Amino acid sequence: MDSKRHLIRTDQAPAPVGVYSQGAVGNAMIFTAGQIPIDPVTGAWLNDSIETAARQVLKNVIAVVEAGGGSVDTILKLTVFLKDMKDFAAVNRIFTEFFPGDAPARSAVEVAALPKDALLEIEAVALRL
């Protein structure tokens, strides 16, 4: 198996806002960078509500996973960084739209601040198909 690191670049997710890659693949594993609520097509900042932000962030995460050779079904773990833990229940409801059956493992933590003052950021670990 090829153990070389391959960086993920896709126009289906926002370009990095700093010095990092959208994701990386090593062996059969995909690691995404944290995704924030930017529409990759329009560049629109979709941070007006936690529901809107969560939907866009999950779309971005899945786009990076797919660009790395995985799928929504190969996501093993998601880490959710919330600006306010009071938004946890709303984010949980949005997760059921994207993971109606068996959901991946997940951690959620409240943080003091996120890039561009985002309401949330999510990163993933997935298997490459």
User: Domain with 59 in it: what CATH number?
Assistant: 3.30.1330.40
Residue 55 lies in a domain: yes
Which structural domain range is residue 26 located in?
6-127
In-domain check, residue 70 = yes
pLDDT of residue 1 exceeding 60, the answer is no
Q: Is residue 93 part of a domain?
A: yes
Instruction: Note the pLDDT of residue 17.
Output: 86
Please indicate, yes or no, whether the overall pTM of this predicted structure exceeds 0.75.
Answer: yes
Please give the tally of structural domains in the chain. Answer: 1
Residue 1 lies in a domain: no
Cα–Cα distance, 45 to 37 (Å, whole number): 6
Asked if residue 33 is part of any domain, the answer here is: yes
Q: Where are the beta strands (DSSP E) in the chain?
A: 6-8, 23-26, 29-32, 75-82, 105-110, 120-127
Confidence of residue 2 (pLDDT cuts 50, 70, 90): low
